[in-house]
Amino acid sequence: TETGTSIDFSNVYVTDPNDSAADINAKLAMGLHVVLSPSIYSLSEPLKLATKGQVLLGLGMATLRATNANTLVEVGDVDGVRLAGFIVQAGPLVGGKRSPSLIQWGTGKYAGNANDPGFLQDIFARVGGPDGSPTNPVGVDTMVLVNSGHVVGDNMWLWRADHTANGPTYPHSGNDCDHGLVVNGDDVFMYGLAVEHTLADLTVWNGDRGTTFFYQSELPYNVQDSEFGAKGYAGYRVADGVTQHTAKGVGVYSFFALYNVTTTSGIVCPP
């Protein structure tokens, strides 16, 4: 017997492809769940989910793209939120500034709820690919930032582009990104996670009792040893001070296309 929650469509807003962030946020502020119609949404501010159990669901690979060096989705310190089925895309730099994140979950002041966790399902992030060049750069510090505890990710691919619509990204790509995933909350689970080509530690796990089942990661192509290997960057880092962490099925591999780079380890964790 399957159980679940059925949501009446009187409590759901289906976006118009021409909606702005303000239009969608007005519906979210009313406590409505939001279904994103297939489209590319250029957003100058984040979509904000602050209602317990709220759902943001994309159809047809709906894409959210930053236009003001902004975060695209911010989840408040509330339980049971679900994000699913859409792409978040880094946008152009503004005054030399890039987005701090594409998705930010929580403020860091809330431990979360084991009985009502939050979910990220079928979420894809990209920094470059359809855009990004030395003359028109795009960028973000961290694609997905999880500050709250008891959040579950399922099927996420966080990708700094190794090629664009116009060809390879190297040697100077115009799509800088430090990290794919940073986890600060405790008791966070990831199932089927891929993080690729970012320019510092690809995944950083600062929270305790984190768990990953399957992780795929390729290090960046176009870095020099002084930029990556000599700095000790890794594909999967569990931070000093973490006391418990479980990861099964972890793979980190390299293709240093342009320069000789030596990494100390693809996977780093404290004793």
- Judged by phi (left if over 0) then psi (alpha if -120 to 50, else beta), residue 58 lies in beta
Measure CA 154 to chain center. 12
Nearest Cα neighbor of 102 from 38, 25, 170, 157 is 157
114-143 in b/e form (b: 16+ CB < 10 A) is: eeebbbbbbbbbbbbbebbeeeebbbbbbb
Amino acid present at 184: N
Interatomic CA distance for residues 92 and 89, integer angstroms = 10
Q: Count the Cβ atoms, other than its own, within 10 Å of residue 80.
A: 18
DSSP-H helix ranges across the chain? 21-29
Please list the residues that pair with 157 across neighbouring strands. 124, 194
Residues labelled catalytic: 218
Please list the residues that pair with 205 across neighbouring strands. 183, 238
Query: Is the backbone peptide bond immediately before 92 cis, with ω within 30 degrees of 0?
Result: no
Interatomic CA distance for residues 139 and 141, integer angstroms = 7
Interatomic CA distance for residues 196 and 177, integer angstroms = 10
